[in-house]
Amino acid sequence: MNSYFADLHIHIGQTNSKKAVKITASRTLTLENILVEASEHKGIDMVGIIDCHVPEIILTLQKLIDRGECEELKDGGVRFQNTTLILGSELEIYDEACKGPIHVLVFMPTLEKMRKLSSWLSTRLTNITLSSQRIYEKGKTLQQFVKEQEGLFIPAHIFTPHKSLYGSGVIHTLNEVFNADLIDAVELGLSSDTKMADQIAELHSYPFLTNSDAHSLPKIGREYQKLKMKEPSFIEFRKVLKNEDGRKIEANYGLNPYLGKYYETTCEKCGEKPESQQAHCEKCGSTRFTKGVSNRLIELANGRLNKQSRPPYIHQVPLQFIPGIGPKTLAKLKDLFGTEMNILHEVPKKELQKVVPERIAEYIAAAREGRLQVTSGGGGTYGKITGM
């Protein structure tokens, strides 16, 4: 068995006919561009593209397969060069049992199964051509359909404010909205990590995933995991989530939660971070705050320790976050050392110093070793690296 890097939450910005898919995503995020970026520039072995329910995307994939540019694998997934695409869809649930909205990820093993999901969704969505749309169906009914198609069901960015399982502030336990036995894993999101999430007892039995939720090409791979499996395919990934036959998550690579956009509670009007719970912002007087993930977890934590061992959670810093690395410097690094995964994990510091100033090489080394100092983000604004 081998180790593979996987980022399983990537959006499509537009189709080949220039129709929007994820409205807030970059228009350069086409299906083909994502595959090229992941394979040739990022060095990511498996990607989950979560807008594959869109009919035009299904047609585009079929054309790529028919032309021989992609290959549908017998064990599930679609291979492009060195990268396997896992077919996914992000959906929004808001039923009578759920005061959501709650975003979830579903993955299908084959293109034919994705066609069936798309057809099933077409009578339950207002617009099947868009991403992250509200499904007019019970969450548990969606789970049941996904399982009938041998798919995977994963609540997305579970602590992010406004559109997640725990982020709305209304839901206190996943059993309120889902069948706990039909959940395959949970995705943590950019403002939390394993240690934070394991404060909640009902999550102890689920694998934790760390994905980018990329809305632009550079954001692909800002969070990812290393998976031990025979090959990058849907069936092998399912075995990873079950910790079956030696398959497993070897490590999670995610942002230091301080760098996430929603770590601290923040005034929605002026961006001030209150020192304690208060009704009014001391700076501008506003009464509207976006509750940070760190504060929400204080409400949810039940004090029970997780006795199961978790893969290491490594606070990864994407190259684009490192001071001094702009587009030209990044291009120079990739020209010499290949993919971003290689630069982040493999290239010795001495080799980096031959290409970039010593301070930048030291920043990359410090990022590998978790030695960077950061200020926390909140209210939709990322945290920042302040030094070493």
**Cβ contact 174:159 at 8 Å:** no
Most confident of 109-118, 327-336, 338-347, 353-362: 109-118
Options 3.30.9.10, 3.50.50.60, 3.40.640.10, 3.20.20.140; which CATH number does 2-257 get?
Answer: 3.20.20.140
Q: Is residue 99 pLDDT above 70, yes or no? A: no
Q: What would the mean pLDDT of 166-179 be, rounded to a whole number?
A: 83
Question: pLDDT at position 10, please?
Answer: 98
Q: Which residue has the higher pLDDT, 178 or 374?
A: 178
**Confidence grade of residue 381 (pLDDT, cut at 50, 70, 90):** confident
Q: Which residue has the higher pLDDT, 113 or 257?
A: 113
Residue 248 to residue 310: CA distance in whole angstroms: 10
Q: Is residue 45 pLDDT above 90, yes or no? A: yes
Q: What would the mean pLDDT of 74-85 be, rounded to a whole number?
A: 97
Question: pLDDT at position 98, please?
Answer: 65
Residue with tokens 């999101």: 189
Q: Is residue 296 pLDDT above 80, yes or no? A: yes
Burial-class residue 233 by CB neighbours within 10 Å (0-12, 13-18, 19+): buried
Express each pLDDT in 299-349 by its tens digit.
888 867 776 789 999 887 888 888 888 989 999 999 999 988 899 888 999
Domain ranges of the chain: 2-257, 319-371
Topology alike, domains 2-257 and 319-371: no
Question: pLDDT at position 379, please?
Answer: 83
Q: Which residue has the higher pLDDT, 290 or 107?
A: 107
Q: What is the 3-state secondary structure (H, E, C) of the chain?
A: CEEEEEEEEECCCECCCCCECCCCCCCCCCHHHHHHHHHHHHCCCEEEECECCCHHHHHHHHHHHHCCCCEECCCCCEEECCEEEEEEEEEEECCCCCCCCEEEEEEECCHHHHHHHHHHHHCCCCCCCCCCEEECCCHHHHHHHHHHCCCEEEECCCCCCCCCCCCCCCCCCHHHCCCHHHCCCEECCCCCCHHHHCCCHHHCCCCEECCCCECCHHHCCCCEEEEEECCCCHHHHHHHHHCCCCCEEEEEEECCHHHCCCCECEECCCCCCCCCCCCCCCCCCCCCEECCHHHHHHHHCCCCCCCCCCCCEEECCCHHHCCCCCHHHHHHHHHHHCCHHHHHHCCCHHHHHCCCCHHHHHHHHHHHCCCCEEECCECCECCEEEEC
Question: pLDDT at position 317, please?
Answer: 82
Topology (CATH level 3) of domain 319-371: DNA polymerase; domain 1 (1.10.150)
Burial-class residue 268 by CB neighbours within 10 Å (0-12, 13-18, 19+): middle
Give buried/exposed letters for 329-338 (b at 16+ CB in 10 A, else e): bbeebbeebe
Residue 3 to residue 156: CA distance in whole angstroms: 24
* Entry pTM: 0.92
The overall average pLDDT reported for the chain is 91
Express each pLDDT in 178-219 by its tens digit.
999 999 999 999 889 999 999 999 999 999 999 999 999 999
Helices 55-66 and 111-122 cross at an angle (nearest 10°) of 160
Residue of 90, 75, 87 lying closest to 113 (CA atoms): 87
Using CA atoms of 187, 189, 193, 199 in order, give the dihedral in degrees to the nearest 10: -70
Q: What would the mean pLDDT of 372-388 be, rounded to a whole number?
A: 82
**Confidence grade of residue 97 (pLDDT, cut at 50, 70, 90):** low
Residue 51 to residue 375: CA distance in whole angstroms: 33
CA–centroid distance for 107 within its chain: 13
Question: pLDDT at position 386, please?
Answer: 80
Q: Which of 25-39, 221-235, 374-388 has the weakest average pLDDT?
A: 374-388
Q: Is residue 144 pLDDT above 90, yes or no? A: yes
Report percent pLDDT > 70 for the chain: 98
Q: What would the mean pLDDT of 235-263 be, rounded to a whole number?
A: 94
Question: pLDDT at position 352, please?
Answer: 92
Question: pLDDT at position 251, please?
Answer: 96
Q: Is residue 289 pLDDT above 90, yes or no? A: no
